[in-house]
Chains A and B, each alone.
Chain A
């Protein structure tokens, strides 16, 4: 079984709808991240969480919110989806040590289309 899972894998929705993307991990990591990937822009950080009570905004948090329900679960919400939020979304985790050399482990991604 995969260490980092994301649901759903694909989602098509309409402008103005509320959407939640979910991420679960079995790696026992404390740190979790949400990124979005757009062609030519690489991955950009939306939110990150160092533990259940520590949540921080990333580079592009406007229009998004997150919830860390447990050590293993980190959800991303779009309160009112808009077309320019159409992208590939990735969840990632890393070890509690938080060293700059720590590897991040990525889920398989959620492809979101907002019509």
Chain B
């Protein structure tokens, strides 16, 4: 069975500060992991995904995530937050069958000027 835990339902950072959003997973098979972002009044869009090709994955808008098998983690980072990064972020793990996803509860990122 697969599950995803996102620590911190709300994270607040100042503009220009480091962004760190945490994601831990549980999977009975080698995991494939995704980060999606949801801007206000919009659907989810893919930020980046881990497909086992490389443990450090770079995504759009300056975000990246590192897959750490020993820690069962896939934390999302960005060196310098921008006001436009304010959104809700979801971590997800792909099931063994087809490509259904199990999502974490989401983390709402707030960026203070």
Contact = CB atoms under 8 A, between A and B. Distances in A.
Contact residue range for chain B?
20 to 34
Given A42-B103, A101-B49, A50 B98 contact: yes
Contact of A108 (B32, B43, B95): B43
Given A40-B9, A40-B105, 13 more contacts: A4-B43, A42-B4, A42-B105, A45-B101, A98-B98, A100-B94, A100-B99, A101-B94, A103-B46, A103-B49, A104-B99, A106-B44, A106-B45
Contact of A107 (B6, B43, B98): B43
Task: Identify whether the interface residues of B are mostly helix, strand, loop, or mixed.
Answer: loop
Interface string B92-113: 0011101111011110000000
B42 interface: yes
Interface of B: 4, 6, 9, 32, 34, 36, 41-46, 49, 51, 90, 94-96, 98-101, 103-106
